[in-house]
Amino acid sequence: MNTVETILNRRSIRKYKQDPVSEEDIRKILACGMAGPSAVNARDWSFVVVNDKEKIADWAEKSGRAGNIIKDAAFAVLVCADTSRSFKHAPEFYVINAAIAAENMILAATDLGIGSVWLGVWPQNEKIETQKAYFELPEEIIPQSIIAFGYPDEDKSGIPHKDYEEDRVHFNQW
């Protein structure tokens, strides 16, 4: 798949086969997360990767509704902002930077034939606190999202993606 095809073919996958994802592919996906742009090149993210089956089961059990998806994932990543690295004059860029890393990982996984879904954490305080407590995160680390990954056990290839919406686009003026 070329990049445009990868983007247009990506769908959220919430059911996974039990096959593990190799550590090589996990690292490839993480490298793509780290390859995204970040404001003032702050690279103010950190990733908690969970690929141990027992740990996944335990984490899922303590993660509310998201746990229903996490429990069957081959691995899942808690994408975090590391605010100690954030741009001092506009630290809020960390949200965007972490989101870019998350989406890059999703697209890399799609290209490798690995399904994924974004599970929202930030800005929902209860979810942020749940993840902070579960992983005993340091004060400066803010959980932003959970991305669950695994080989797809559902076929969304026949479901066309959203059409191009002309009424959302304004050329040269509003």
Ligand X SMILES: Cc1cc2nc3c(=O)[nH]c(=O)nc-3n(C[C@H](O)[C@H](O)[C@H](O)COP(=O)(O)O)c2cc1C
Residues lying near ligand X in the complex (CB under 6 A): 11-12, 14, 66, 117-120
Distance between CA atoms of 20 and 73, rounded to whole angstroms? 9
Distance between CA atoms of 165 and 30, rounded to whole angstroms? 32
* Minimum CB distance to ligand X smaller for 107 or for 170: 107
Residue nearest to ligand X (CB): 120
Distance between CA atoms of 124 and 116, rounded to whole angstroms? 21
Instruction: Tell me the HSE value of 157 on the side-chain side, using a 13 A CA sphere.
Output: 8
> Is 70 in contact with 93 (CB distance < 8 Å)?
no
* Minimum CB distance to ligand X smaller for 127 or for 132: 127
In angstroms, what is the minimal distance from the CB of 85 to ligand X?
22
In angstroms, what is the minimal distance from the CB of 23 to ligand X?
26
In angstroms, what is the minimal distance from the CB of 136 to ligand X?
23
* Minimum CB distance to ligand X smaller for 139 or for 165: 165
* Minimum CB distance to ligand X smaller for 14 or for 132: 14
Distance between CA atoms of 106 and 117, rounded to whole angstroms? 8
In angstroms, what is the minimal distance from the CB of 48 to ligand X?
17
State which H helix or E strand residue 144 sits in: strand 141-150
